[in-house]
Amino acid sequence: MPSRTASPRAARALLIARALIAAAAALAVTFVQDRSAGFALAVFGGFALATGLILFVDALAVRSRGGTRSTAVLAAIHLAAAAFCLLLPIAADARFHWVLVAWAVLAGAGELVAGVLGRRRGTADARDRITIGALTLVLAAVSLVVSPQYALEYVIEEAGREFTLTGTIVGVGLFGGWAAIVAVYLGIGAFSPAPQKTPLTKDAA
């Protein structure tokens, strides 16, 4: 007996919602000039909270069977990351760095596992989850290299000013780039035609 999973329409709606959230985060990082740790925590925390709520709704109200547990785990990971952005009792720059890395490791692995399991069940969003999981693990690996204590002072002669490139600036830039790639990928996936599957009948068997 085949397991019932989220319909292609529901899966597409989830992709669109996640794409819009990622796009909002990418736009905020791109166009807001503030690159402080507070800004980084606000953007990432807002992204994690919104995505966690979307995944939570998906787990409770959309998926009838198959993928509910993995989606609920992903929702919990995102909501926990949003909470730690506010509650972790360390300096803001270190808090952003370590919450981002921990979230990327756990969410990337969870998304990848959910995608692999979904592929076995034939869910509509399995391929997208595998790709997003892999991209998130890459973000984790790259972000781990960036130290929150990093600081590079440089001068732009045309502006006549001295600037400081910090680990937080690099980290939020990496997150913004990841969010932009994810938004485009999910948007393309959401509006791509769903593959047509011919049901197997007794005669065909």
Q: What is the pLDDT of residues 38-65, one digit of tens each?
A: 999 999 999 999 999 999 888 887 655 4
Q: Is residue 67 part of a domain?
A: yes
Q: Is residue 27 part of a domain?
A: yes
The pLDDT of residue 112: 92
Q: Is residue 200 part of a domain?
A: no
Q: Report the C-alpha gap between 154 and 144 in whole angstroms.
A: 24
24 or 201, which is more confident: 24
Q: Report the C-alpha gap between 141 and 35 in whole angstroms.
A: 21
Q: Is residue 84 part of a domain?
A: yes
The pLDDT of residue 71: 85
pTM: 0.83
Q: Which domain holds residue 52?
A: 8-191
Q: What is the domain count for the chain?
A: 1
Please report which residue ranges of the chain form alpha helices under DSSP H: 8-31, 37-57, 68-87, 92-121, 126-145, 167-191
Q: Is residue 197 part of a domain?
A: no
At how many degrees (to 10) do helices 92-121 and 37-57 cross? 30
Q: Is residue 201 part of a domain?
A: no
Q: Is residue 110 part of a domain?
A: yes
Cα 116 versus chain centre, distance = 17
Contact assessment for residue 126 and residue 118, using Cβ atoms and an 8 Å cutoff? yes
- Provide the token pair at 42: 């606000």
Q: Report the C-alpha gap between 104 and 72 in whole angstroms.
A: 16
Q: Is residue 205 part of a domain?
A: no
pLDDT tens figures, 64-82: 545 678 888 999 999 999 9
Contact assessment for residue 73 and residue 15, using Cβ atoms and an 8 Å cutoff? no
